[in-house]
Structure 1
Amino acid sequence: MAQTNRVLRVLIATDTYPPDVNGAGYFTHRLAEGLAGRGHRVHVVCPSDLGDPYVTANGGVTEHRLRSAPIPLQESMRMAVPLGIGGHTARLVARLDPDVVHVQSHFTVSRTALRRARAVGVPVVFTNHFMPDNLYAHAHLPQGVHSVAGSVAWRDMVRVAGAADHVTTPTPRAARLLREKGFARAVEAISCGIDLERFHPREGERAAARARFGLPDRDTVVFVGRLDVEKRIDDTIRALARVVSERDAQLVLAGTGQREQELRALAAGLGIADRVRFLGFVPDEDLPLVYAAGDVFAIASVAELQSIATLEAMSTGLPVVAADAMALPHLVEEGRNGFLFPAGDVAALAEHLLTVLGPDDRRRAMGTASREIALRHDQRRSLERFEAVYTSLGAAVPAPVRVERVIAA
């Protein structure tokens, strides 16, 4: 693929970054590494994973870690301490003199970087990964306030995004959602992308992969992601209880989250504790083997703007059974690489899993189709598009603007 001849100075601002485990953090990390791998000078400003601020060179990416504190009720993540962020970010923008600032959310670090960049005429790209469903789970908000909290959060996000020069989101469905929530300008859909070389078909490695994780050699349904409310893994466990009455099957869950103990109790209550295997956190280098151990990927979530894990599974050659919700339908061609089921319909989920776990030749054909669809999401193509966006914005740097009245402090 073509690559820009211009070396770009890119400052990425994000409120979540590894070791955080979530889709937005994962995408941002791969974006930073991918741009650096293509010869650009990449800096990331994000919360410190240790609490105290520090700067480190991680491969070709320089990380500027801001002082942070634990997020209440969310032990696995930290947030930047607001005091001092404005001055720190302003000095960083002045010193680095970036061609573009790419912010990944409307939260504290990102909105501060957006404000400081626009104040000195540096163009800004805004990528939205936000869904209120994630906020509800992390903040432990009661069901009764979800609607009001969601409306407030969307208005805030739309207001912040409105100050950026170019707005992107991972899928056409996610772009349409932004417009439905009141964002009046153009939104470009740019796929998060997938490393097609790292995640590739490994059917011949299935037995070894299962042995690696201590899994019995039986039909295997896989899910990779956080074990949190919005992922609706309880639906998949209930569906498995129906599946095991007809097939020798198991569900493998790779990830950690707030609902793990609740999900273990559910499996035990359904009498299938031995058929639901919790792998916990799986190091990034071992992640391709989780997919290799599976026969089908199942995802019941209703809050996916794209789902990197589903793309990884497809790239590995797994059929997909997914909830017909948000952006997941963009990844499933009904009957070709898998099936969609109405969100919350456990019986339909179980029926589709039984269909996919049927004849080997049908499962293999669906897996081949998944790989073909995943080829459309080559991360090199995504990186190339972001390069083009950065370059086009740099060609016409906007005049400094005041955005204090546009963006809430």
Structure 2
Amino acid sequence: MTLRIGLVTSEFPPDLGGVETYSWQLARELGSRHDVAVTVFAPPTARDVVPPPNVTIRPVLTSCMELDWARLKDEPIDVWHALSAAHCWLALKGRPTVVSVHGNDFLVPYPTTMRPALALPGMWRLRGLAWKELEPLWRRTTAQMLRRALPRCGAIIANSRYTADVLQGLVPGCNERIAVAGVGVDTAFFDVPRGVGDGVPQLLTVCRLSEARKNVDRVLRALGALKDSFDFEYVVAGDGSLRTELEGLAAELGLATRVRFVGRVDDAELRRLYAAADLFVLTASVTPASHEGFGIVYLEAAASGVPSLAARLAGAVEAVEEGESGYFVETTETDAIEAALASFLAGTVHFDAERCRVFARRFTWARVADAAMKAYLQTLSTPISTP
């Protein structure tokens, strides 16, 4: 008998990000297994994406519950898997539902799946309002939905122990349903060659430049204080609303010739950047609305033989093994980042590329898919709670 799995996600290629990577890799791994049929319900932006083998992509998702329910309710699916918290509303419709949680997706829910559907009767009257001004209302109603729906899900898969603990504190009713499955890393990163550079240390950051808590500005300020003492080059890959401001800061600090902002990069270029890097740097903070639930980029770096400098906060503690695949700053203040970078640039701390890769090999998408399959069977064998 074939198990029909419906993966529901608002974050999927060609968009970039941790949840997008999670969604693609899980779909690919599940599609490689016998006796399953995988359908991904994704946004219209995925219409030109070539699916992994044995996976069907349906680019129909609007991320509005009322509109999506009309599209999904008659689909021949045995078990639904919401790939981020905002889509767990499926459990309220009495459908067997598994949900993956990543951290930020339930702290401040995105997308706002409980916003009204303008296509429904009467909703046209809202077109004249400042729709964005109503966004906080939709976010609150989506958060309220999460607290009702998550305890009704058959199983909850967390990307880290930290994420699981935060969720348990926020929604105690789902404690017994949470399993920590971690994340995986694409095996292509293990084939990244370790190049021989020109002797100038290469530092790399890969992140969206839209959240101040990523602290790229503090890394720049730390490097500005170190520029007269050490040679280095710093590459920042990623794009976002803060990019122009960060480029201006680099110029102001006298780093214009030593820092490159390369924007969004494709997979091949990303591997080339890791191949050239000596240290990956992402010293992100925790805020009430956002944190690193895990940080797949730390694993990508380790799989490429590149150690990481991270903050000893949130899921990064599980994504980096101190002394093996990187090291930590105890605070995200600029002076702490400066001291940590100085230690690396001076050669006081150093790492072995193969030991970084050994750590990364612990994390596989096969393990995540195994946890998902177990969750599907558990969900199908559990009576559905009545809304």
Normalised by the size of structure 1, how large is the TM-score?
Answer: 0.77
Say whether 1:225 aligns with 2:207. Answer: yes
Alpha-carbon separation, structure 1, partners of 2:192 and 2:57: 34
1:381 aligns with 2:370: no
Alpha carbons of structure 1 residues 151 and 206: separation in structure 2 relative to 1, 3 Å: farther
Q: Does 1:199 align with 2:189?
A: yes
C-alpha distance in structure 2 between counterparts of 1:127 and 1:26, whole Å: 13
1:340 aligns with 2:313: no
Distance 1:265 1:253 in 2: 14
1:103 equivalenced with 2:82 (yes/no): yes
Aligned to 1:159: 148
Matches of 2:105 and 2:10 in 1, distance apart?
16
Gaps of 5+ in 1: 1-5, 69-79, 140-146, 208-215, 404-409
Structure 2: gaps of 5 or more residues? 113-135, 286-290
Residue 326 of structure 2 contacts residue 351 of structure 2 at CA under 8 Å; is this kept in 1?
no
Residue 113 of structure 1 is matched in structure 2 by: 90
CA contact (8 A) 1:297 1:313 kept: yes
Where do 1:126-275 residues align within 5 Å? 126-131=99-104, 135=108, 156-184=145-173, 185-186=175-176, 187-195=178-186, 197-200=187-190, 202-207=192-197, 218-229=200-211, 230-275=213-258
CA contact (8 A) 2:4 2:77 kept: yes
Q: Which residue of 2 aligns with 1:3?
A: none
Quickly say closer, same or farther: Cα 1:156–1:323, change in 2 above 3 A: farther
* Cα distance in 2 for residues equivalent to 1:338 and 1:372: 13
Deviation of the 1:205 alpha carbon:
3.0
The CA deviation string for residues 148-192 of structure 1, in whole angstroms up to 9 with x for no partner, is 999987554333211201011111111111112133322211111
Q: Secondary structure at the match of 1:102?
A: strand
Q: Secondary structure at the match of 1:85?
A: helix
> Quick one: percent identity of the two aligned structures?
24
Counterpart of 1:16 in structure 2 is: 11
Question: Which AA in structure 2 matches 1:288?
Answer: R
The two structures, once aligned, show a CA RMSD in angstroms of: 3.1
2:40 maps to 1:44: yes
With normalisation by structure 2, the TM-score equals: 0.81
Q: What is the distance in 1 between the residues matched to 2:166 and 2:38?
A: 30
Partners in 1 of 2:8 and 2:371 — Cα distance? 19
For 1:270-285, list aligned pairs within 5 A. Answer: 270-285=253-268
- Judged with a 3 Å threshold, the aligned counterparts in structure 2 of structure 1 residues 258 and 97 are, in CA distance, closer, same or farther, namely same
SS state at 2:21 partner: helix
Q: Does the 8 Å contact 1:296/1:357 carry over to 2? A: no
Q: Secondary structure at the match of 1:376?
A: coil
Q: Does 1:64 align with 2:41?
A: no
Which residue in 1 is equivalent to 2:133? Answer: none
Distance 1:274 1:10 in 2: 50
Q: 1:137 to 1:258 in 2, by over 3 A?
A: farther
Q: Is the 8 A contact 2:298 2:320 kept in 1?
A: no
Q: CA distance change for structure 1 residues 304 and 152 in 2, over 3 Å: closer, same or farther? A: farther
Distance across 1 between alignment mates of 2:61 and 2:153: 25
Tell me what 2:119 maps to: none
Alignment-derived partner of residue 351 in structure 1: 339
Instruction: Report how many aligned residue pairs link the two structures.
Output: 355
Which residue of 1 is the match for residue 282 of structure 2?
A: 299
- Measure, in 1, the Cα distance between the counterparts of 2:66 and 2:141: 24
In structure 1, how many angstroms separate the alpha carbons of the residues matched to 2:297 and 2:324?
A: 19
Report if the CA contact (8 A) 2:41-2:61 is conserved.
no
Deviations 1:21-75 (A, max 9, x none): 221121011111111122431101122117xx8998554221111265xxxxxxx
**Aligned residue type for 2:305:** G
Picking from 340, 350, 372, the partner of 1:363 is 350
1:354-385 deviation line (CA, Å, top 9, x unaligned)? 2223449x5343x3332222222122222222
Aligned residue among 302, 306, 317 for 1:314: 302
